[in-house]
Amino acid sequence: MIDDLPAGFGARRLDEEDHLPVLAVLDSWWGGLKGPAGAKERALLLPRLYFQHFTSTSFVVERDNGEMAAFLIGFLSQTEPEAAYVHFVGVDPALHGRGIGRALYRAFFALVREHGRRHVSCITSPQNSASQAFHTRLGFTTSAVKPGYDGPGLDRVVFGIDLGAGARNSGA
Ligand SMILES: CC(C)(COP(=O)(O)OP(=O)(O)OC[C@H]1O[C@@H](n2cnc3c(N)ncnc32)[C@H](O)[C@@H]1OP(=O)(O)O)[C@@H](O)C(=O)NCCC(=O)NCCS
């Protein structure tokens, strides 16, 4: 399913049983970003519906022993026929810098291309500098901080990539 993972790792589609295990790692994988308010914000961004209705465009990476190593939750836009969206991506901090995040995006890009999509977007908090560096490396454009983008007090940075714009900008 994802053939460019490091040795000892495999991938599968997300399923409903992943809901609580994913919630359980959010705080440590996000390094406690933005304190208790950040923890609450992240947990509320991942209700069970993502693990019921978006599984065919979402992935889990596991170690050979079945322990979760990373996940990506994405979907095809219901509204924009050429668009797809990455809602959440996380890699176990012990495995950062090994290309797992890139491999997840590559797999997502391939999947959405098969569905005729070319624009992929996602967002992050202005405080999440690692996410901004990562998405920039993958070829995403990065907006200026958008105050109140997700509601009062919820500022965001918006990333976008056009998969039709050539290999250099495909994250591959
Ligand atoms: C952001 C995240 C998903 C990156 O995953 P990863 O597996 O470590 O990333 P990769 O190893 O695939 O790196 C891909 C590229 O991005 C770069 N990159 C990744 N994290 C980086 C960082 N913190 N600073 C600078 N560059 C970074 C890598 O150097 C690599 O570039 P290269 O291929 O040119 O060497 C991971 O750090 C993470 O899970 N963070 C916590 C959760 C989070 O913030 N998620 C995103 C917001 S929803």
Question: Per-residue pLDDT for 167 more than 80?
Answer: no
Q: Which of 98, 123, 131, 134 to mutate to test the pocket of ligand 1 (most atoms within 8 A of CB)?
A: 134
Nearest CA to ligand 1 atom 36: 91
Query: What is the distance in A from the centroid of ligand 1 to the CA of 122?
Result: 14
- In this structure, which residue's CA is closest to atom 4 in ligand 1? 101
Fold of 9-169: Aminopeptidase (3.40.630)
pLDDT, tens digit, 9 for 90 and up, residues 57-72: 999 999 999 999 999 9
Taking the centre of ligand 1 as the mean of its atom positions, its distance from the CA of residue 113, in whole angstroms, is 22
Q: 55 with 12: CB under 8 angstroms?
A: no
Average pLDDT, the chain: 95
Residue nearest to ligand 1 atom 5, measured at CA: 101
Annotated domain spans of the chain:
9-169
Distance 130 CA to ligand 1 centre (A): 6
Distance 30 CA to ligand 1 centre (A): 12
pLDDT tens, residue by residue, 3-30: 999 999 999 999 999 999 999 999 999 9
What's the pLDDT score for residue 171? 53
